[in-house]
Structure 1
Amino acid sequence: NLKLSSPKWDLLKFQVREALEEYDYFEASFDQLLELQRPFLKALKQLIDLPFQIKQLANPFVPMLGLYQDCMRAYPLMMHIFKSLAPFTLLALGLEKTILRMILESFSLEKYMDELVDSTNNHLRAMKYGRINTSELTHGVPAHCDHTTMTLLCQLNEVQKVNFVLLQVWLNGQLTVVYHRMMMKGNETSYSIRVFASPREGYLVKVPKELVDDKNPMLFKPFDLEEVLKFYYLQTVQVATKSTIKAYCNV
């Protein structure tokens, strides 16, 4: 029920900006998305938990092979996933666009909304983190920075977490980028869905002219994310730097 330009909208967009400037992420409680992600995650859990021997039968490089011989047995599960996927994805992408508009408006850069949306690729990833059988906090995911404009993290029975990296570059360093990690403890397996938004190949990410002047020089040169990723996957670079984006495109 949030309406553009309403007092509630204006208050929330500056709260979003404040959270990003200080922490690089925030938690978003979106009841409709939470209701849809529960059945979706449960169906994905069944798929992820298929025995390894079954997964080995899949050959994505040869059409009509892989698990085709077991398609009727897998059909109910796959249909359940597909039926859950469409409404979940539509709501997740809608939330992503709402957040992006809030951020752009808070910097008076809303005129770039259509350009950023049109130049974005989205992909969804289901993830499983195994039991660690310890009461001590330990790494579930090593410390890292996502190479995305926006990442929406959805975990079973939890609110959505949203963080950003490339927007820090696009906004000429006005947002904080946190080198983050996932910590776990206990003996429960964790499942999550991540919805990533990234610039499409060939799109040049560059700082808007409105953010550059004599007092605020350009901090990052324009870059194509695909070239940044090639740079990142050099093993020496992964060891040598925490912020691949900064290492690649600092002026």
Structure 2
Amino acid sequence: MAIDAEIEFPTIELRSSDLKRGTEGWNRLCKRVREACETFGCFDVVYKKISTKIREDAFELQKELVEVPVERKQKNTSPLPCHGWVGPCEQVSMLYEGFGVADASNYDSVNNFAQLMWPNGQPRFTDTIHTLATQMEELNKLIWLMLTDSYGLQEDSLKMNYKTLVRMMKYLAPPPGEYERGFFAHTDKPISTLICEDKSGLEIEVNNDQWIKLTNLSPSSFVFIVGDPLKAWSNGRLKPVNHRVMMSGDKDRYSIAAFIIPNEGTIIKAPKELIDEKHPQLFKEFDFMDFFLYAISDPAKHIDSGELLHAYASLSPPVSN
């Protein structure tokens, strides 16, 4: 998918015929996934196993969700940051509104959220969001497996107990002729993220301060994003990408993101196979939740957030990508 005359953002289609481990097709895919995550920190993954209908249904239901009264939205709370409802505000963006469903591959969790928003129940919402979340979680697992295989590691090298946090986000169209921030630039603090969107708006930073908009994504596309902890796990090989949402035009934007949030007590550390004389250990072992709370709880830390991992866990001065 060509976005810029000089930059071609990687699009990788995961065809079922290439998904048998150990085959030539599988090995080629693994190499492409690793190279995309090392170079860009993200890629466009085309995955037709998740139907376009389930995505369209989810966006349709999301449009119903944003219409519920504010007093119900305010019931979407959590002791963990980024897990509840956030309305338009100066801190994030006056164009942004987001809802959080924790443990969204668990049917009861989605149903409990739906009953908060619709006291009389909304089984179609529960069924659709639970199905989409479960399928996105499986896609994330598949990409993780590709990364471990590409580095020649055992499957359990990137295996942990976690929950999938689904955030459903709406971005208002800006005033006519304006180009406005929908969400500030940041790197992700969960392990990894999958995003699907109904219109373009997501931008990534490349080549230091050059931003490109991800356009022409197919109806079967998801954007996989490397989070800060994957950089630590890979001993600096994988690149968390700085990304933002910028809005233009006269249409609102809807997106659904699945964030991988490890359970409390999960330790992030690089496998010994990724540490040697040429690749000395860059980061200390750390508790994921301690890092997550450190990075997310203080809004001021969103500035230059790509450096937070180094500030928290680096064993050496930060190295520019």
Q: TM-score, normalised by structure 2?
A: 0.68
For 2:131, which of 87, 93, 106 is the aligned residue? 87
**Alignment match, 2:265:** 202
Equivalent residues, number: 239
CA distance in 2, matches of 1:219, 1:199: 21
SS in 1 for 2:177: strand
SS in 2 for 1:108: coil
* Contact map agreement 1:149 1:198 (CA 8 A) in 2: yes
* Contact map agreement 2:177 2:249 (CA 8 A) in 1: yes
Q: Summarize the alignment of residues 132-211 of structure 1 with structure 2, pairs less than 5 Å apart.
A: 132-156=174-198, 157=219, 159-165=221-227, 166-211=229-274
Q: Quick one: which amino acid aligns to residue 254 of structure 2?
A: Y
* Contact map agreement 2:136 2:258 (CA 8 A) in 1: yes
**Closer/same/farther in 2, CA of residues 10 and 42 from structure 1, 3 Å limit:** same
**Closer/same/farther in 2, CA of residues 42 and 164 from structure 1, 3 Å limit:** same
**Closer/same/farther in 2, CA of residues 54 and 20 from structure 1, 3 Å limit:** closer
Q: Tell me, yes or no, if structure 1 residue 7 matches structure 2 residue 69.
A: no
Q: Tell me, yes or no, if structure 1 residue 100 matches structure 2 residue 117.
A: no
**Once the 2 structures are TM-superposed, how far is the Cα of residue 235 of structure 1 from its aligned partner?**
5.3
**Closer/same/farther in 2, CA of residues 129 and 117 from structure 1, 3 Å limit:** same
Question: Which structure is larger by alpha-carbon Rg, 1 or 2?
Answer: 1
**Alignment match, 2:312:** 248
Q: Tell me, yes or no, if structure 1 residue 35 matches structure 2 residue 98.
A: no
Identity value in percent:
28
CA distance in 2, matches of 1:183, 1:117: 34
CA distance in 2, matches of 1:111, 1:177: 22
**Alignment match, 2:107:** none
**Once the 2 structures are TM-superposed, how far is the Cα of residue 238 of structure 1 from its aligned partner?**
4.2
CA distance in 2, matches of 1:227, 1:89: 25
* Contact map agreement 2:186 2:306 (CA 8 A) in 1: yes
Segments of 5+ residues of structure 1 without an aligned counterpart are none
SS in 2 for 1:243: helix
**Once the 2 structures are TM-superposed, how far is the Cα of residue 179 of structure 1 from its aligned partner?**
1.7
**Alignment match, 1:221:** 284
**Once the 2 structures are TM-superposed, how far is the Cα of residue 147 of structure 1 from its aligned partner?**
0.4
SS in 1 for 2:238: coil
SS in 1 for 2:119: helix
RMSD of Structure 2 on Structure 1 (CA): 2.5
**Once the 2 structures are TM-superposed, how far is the Cα of residue 174 of structure 1 from its aligned partner?**
0.7
Higher RCO (CA-CA < 8 Å; seq separation 6+)? 1
Q: Deviations for 1:196-235, whole angstroms, at most 9, x for unmatched residues? A: 1132211111111111122211000011122113322345
**Once the 2 structures are TM-superposed, how far is the Cα of residue 135 of structure 1 from its aligned partner?**
3.4
Q: Deviations for 1:46-68, whole angstroms, at most 9, x for unmatched residues? A: 01222436646x5879xx9xx88
Q: TM-score, normalised by structure 1?
A: 0.85
For 1:17, which of 16, 22, 34 is the aligned residue? 34
**Alignment match, 1:48:** 66
Segments of 5+ residues of structure 2 without an aligned counterpart are 1-15, 79-111, 199-218, 316-321
**Closer/same/farther in 2, CA of residues 224 and 139 from structure 1, 3 Å limit:** same
* Contact map agreement 1:30 1:160 (CA 8 A) in 2: yes
Q: Which moved more, 1:124-133 or 1:30-39?
A: 30-39
SS in 2 for 1:220: coil
Q: Quick one: which amino acid aligns to residue 90 of structure 1?
A: T
SS in 1 for 2:279: coil
Q: Which moved more, 1:233-242 or 1:171-180?
A: 233-242
**Alignment match, 2:168:** 126
CA distance in 2, matches of 1:19, 1:217: 23
CA distance in 2, matches of 1:189, 1:120: 32
**Closer/same/farther in 2, CA of residues 171 and 59 from structure 1, 3 Å limit:** closer
CA distance in 2, matches of 1:52, 1:173: 43
